[in-house]
Chain A
């Protein structure tokens, strides 16, 4: 059994638990798996995002997380991920965003936490090698799923609605007709 297969089987054993949290397994390849994250506690239940978690070269390297359209598998830009990811730091009372875009908001975003390839590859984290975390469980599939859940879905409070309306007329109150 490959190391990724062991990770995937650990997820499958607990798939019902994760589905109840809104995490739905979509498909897999020999070294990656796609998931859809919904928000079960908001009615009607929205689909927050999809991810492809790629375990190529696991565990010499941590997994890579790519945000995708869960239906077409098209990679999403930062602007297209409509749910925020926040981490409590004790400094900023509103939490620190951990979904980052490198250049422009039209570029692909990445999750900036230890245990994720994009975090350890970033020059700003060159002092925090993946090998300091490799044996700690942080890149494991179930842990990654729970991190994505805790920092986004679990924090979701409701729909953010923006309305644009046009005044098209004045409604008559026919009760006021003089008879």
Chain B
């Protein structure tokens, strides 16, 4: 029982999101969940009303596939992920 509880706690981390510059901390992020879940929470907390599909998430200058589990990315405690609006199609 105690071991189960400890294992559950090991699976929980905190992530810091920068939602269009606003710092949003999401605690108790389960690393076995898709990152999408935490991104949605961060957007709600930031008061953004657009759907999560309109945003992209960068970490260390790489755009992440937020449908992957959090543990896939090897994120450390309090890693900062940048959430910003996707750019509309541009160019010539």
Contact = CB atoms under 8 A, between A and B. Distances in A.
Interface of A: 10-11, 13-14, 17-18, 21, 41, 87, 89, 96-98, 100, 111-115, 119, 124, 128, 133, 136-138, 140, 142-143, 145-147, 150-151, 153-155
A150 B84 contact: yes
Contact of A142 (B20, B58, B88, B89): B20
Report, as a range, how many residues of chain B touch the other chain: 10 to 19
A137 B87 CA distance: 11
Contact of A10 (B21, B50, B85): B21
B84 A133 contact: no
Contact of A133 (B61, B82, B88): B88
B2 interface: no
Interface in B36-92: 50, 56, 58, 61, 82, 84-85, 87-92
5 contacts: A11-B21, A14-B22, A138-B88, A143-B20, A143-B85
